[in-house]
Amino acid sequence: MRSLSLRLAFVGAAFAIGCAAQAADAPLKGKTVAFVPTSLGYDLTDGWNAMVRGQLEPLGVKWIVRDPNWSTDAGAQAITSLINEKPDVLLVQNPDIQSYARLLKRAEDAGIRVVQVNMRSAARTSAFVGADWVGIGEAMAKAVVEKCSPKTGRSGKVTIVQGVLTAAASTFQMQGVQAVLAKNPDIKVVSNQAADWDASKARAVTDTALKQHPDLCGVIGFWDGQDTGTAAAIREAKKQDQVFLATNGGAARTGCANVANGNFSAYMTYDVKQQSQDLVQVIKTLLASSARPAQDISRVTPVGVITKASLRDDTCWNLEEYKKK
């Protein structure tokens, strides 16, 4: 009899949990969430698109994507159009700090909840979900300092390969890098150039630095997508054993592959899987009430560090697995 009572209690508890979960998801049905990335076609944006969409659509959410294909003007037009269409939540990955700021304020004023993804603008909106860019800059600089300090017998010469200078990712990473280098005056920055998130530009910048400074010890790169070009320049100069490349990215399988093959010496990460889960939770919170949250619900992704020594088969995620879902 006691056994039957326990089973009935367990079933009742499970039913209650199921009902609570359904009630929590009820505000999502029939809602619309729109996403304006910098561009589709690379691991970060394709990952967010596949993972967030995969969690929301089964709950009855309409998912809209407007791809500006790296055009800020096209992105502005997409956001303007969406303001008129009035989705319930608008996710935006800003190309820089200023370009979309006024539009995001317009969207918020129109009652649309705006979540900025990974790169902030000057406008304050309902939430931000993204990387700890200052922390990433600090982690990359510390790794390069540890490897290249003259105290270790190396030259102390390093280069910095930034992205778009006006992008929040570049601005805040540079703050982190400078904070560390200020405490290590024996490290000499011999080149600090922007590659605009372009692998071919990163390759050219690094090639020039290697020719001008044959004893170069380290490179701090601001995104793994562009730093495949940085790595190519180092490889072509046959200096993979000499030059330590620290970069960062969303922990996709391609990033881990570049750690495994020696292209990246240290890979600082902001896990796209975690960010996607955080985005879904933030969206659910925003849709649960018509009132704005009383507290800041933004989520900043912890900094991960991947090296050959820490690499495992399951360290990075595979986009193809999420595209199938």
pLDDT tens sequence across 157-190: 999 999 999 999 999 999 999 999 999 999 999 9
Q: 69 and 39 in one domain?
A: yes
Residues present in the chain in total: 325
What is the CATH classification number for the domain harbouring 252? 3.40.50.2300
Q: 37 and 77 in one domain?
A: yes
Is 144 inside any structural domain?
yes
**Predicted structure pTM score:** 0.89
Is 86 inside any structural domain?
yes
pLDDT tens sequence across 70-100: 999 999 999 999 999 999 999 999 999 999 9
The residue with greater pLDDT, 213 or 2, is 213
| Res 325: pLDDT | 59
Is 21 inside any structural domain?
no
What does the block give as tokens for 195?
């590659």
Distance CA 134, CA 111 (A): 31
| CA separation, residue 92 to residues 45, 76, 79, 216, 264 (Å) | 11, 10, 9, 38, 29
3-state helix, strand, coil in the chain (%, to 5): 50, 20, 35
Q: 105 and 79 in one domain?
A: yes
Q: 140 and 102 in one domain?
A: no
The residue with greater pLDDT, 321 or 46, is 46
The residue with greater pLDDT, 141 or 7, is 141
Q: 154 and 108 in one domain?
A: no
Q: 264 and 137 in one domain?
A: yes
Domain membership of residue 163 as a residue range: 133-269
